[in-house]
Structure 1
Amino acid sequence: MPPSSPPDLSKVGEGNKTPLKSTISIPTSLFHTKKLVEEKNNAPDQVVVEKRPEVAAPTIIQESVTLTQEMLDLVIHSVKDFYRQANKNFELAILDQPIQVLNGEVNLQVMGSVQEEIANKMRPELLGLIRKLTGANQLSISVEHKEEIEDSRPKLYTNTDKLRFLRDKHPALAEFQRKFDLDVDF
């Protein structure tokens, strides 16, 4: 077998044209260290100060736009579609409540502490979504806890209560019951 020749390393890195930085020599003796320090002190300091031309920062004059009820009414369907596609039904239930805008403040009406907690969690996302869709930059969201209206009518638990309610609501039912001699078995 012929002896293998060492690989030609002269062509390595030809594609990369960036110059290599020189490595630091480690002094082997105290004399060599002193010599390196003297050379460094005697060498002229080459401080390159690069002056960059001062460029004035572009000033963007953005007109302040306050959210109005009309603007919200135009985009509320898109907002609801966003939450519907994200399958966020609890947030959607809050958005189905009447929403009022007064002086750039969106007033969400919620019923109960659970909806109030969900509304507070969805507030940043809703704020960003409304800003993006309307272009309004002056708006805030407040959550109003709305009390549930108590129903004055009694609850209909038993079949007798249900029949009595239907007879009061539809008097013809009582007349049919008497005329056809209908008897109710519960």
Structure 2
Amino acid sequence: MVEIKLEGRDLTQEILNGIFLDVKDHFQKLGKSMELAILGEGMKMKGEVVMLQVMGHVQEELALKMKPEVIRIIKELASVNHFKLELEFKEELESERSKLYTSSDKFNFLKEKHAALGEFQRMFGLETDY
């Protein structure tokens, strides 16, 4: 009995970039918009691991369900050896500055970004409070 073992190539970022649109097309044809939103962040290689970015628990659960399918598609399209697919959690950063509610707050914020506004305020005697 002769055993034939097919040797594939190692997965690289270049190979992954080359097949990424095909992976997205697969999910688009199936009408899976939530999965497409996860893939919208792209996939990146960290060593020999493919990283898939997720944001929040809903995307995490969905990514865990789609993980075997993504691995199968990548293996079929790229003819690669075994690789791992892991999730990377990307958190939404809260704005460090407070919300700008009043006209004065908005004007002061813009004045910090654009010094000319301070000059206009001084020259024309502008008031932000009504």
Partner of 2:10: 66
Shift in Å at residue 85 of structure 1? 4.2
Q: Any gaps of 5 or more consecutive residues in structure 1? A: 1-55
Task: Name which of 114, 126, 138 aligns with 2:58.
Answer: 114
Distance of aligned partners of 1:70 and 1:166 in 2 relative to their CA distance in 1, 3 Å threshold: same
User: Which TM-score applies when normalising by structure 1?
Assistant: 0.58
Supply the distance in 1 between the matched residues of 2:28 and 2:82 (Cα, whole angstroms): 26
Task: Name which of 23, 27, 48 aligns with 1:79.
Answer: 23
Indicate the structure whose relative CO is greater, using CA pairs within 8 Å and at least 6 residues apart. 2
Q: Any gaps of 5 or more consecutive residues in structure 2? A: none
Structure 1 stretch 80-89 or stretch 67-76: which is displaced more?
80-89
* Runs of 4+ with >4 A deviation: none
RMSD: 2.5
More helix by share: 2
Shift in Å at residue 159 of structure 1? 3.2
Letter in 2 for 1:158: T
Say whether residues 1:90 and 2:29 are aligned partners: no
Distance of aligned partners of 1:115 and 1:162 in 2 relative to their CA distance in 1, 3 Å threshold: same
Once the two structures are superposed, the pairs formed by residues 18-97 of structure 1 within 5 Å of their partners are 59-97=3-41
Partner of 1:17: none
Is the 1:65–1:138 Cα contact (8 Å) retained in structure 2?
Answer: no
Letter in 2 for 1:154: S
The size of the alignment, in residue pairs, is 130
The percent of aligned pairs where both chains have the same amino acid is 45
User: 1:29-70: per-residue Cα shift (whole Å, max 9, x none)?
Assistant: xxxxxxxxxxxxxxxxxxxxxxxxxxx6x7433114332222
Distance of aligned partners of 1:185 and 1:82 in 2 relative to their CA distance in 1, 3 Å threshold: farther
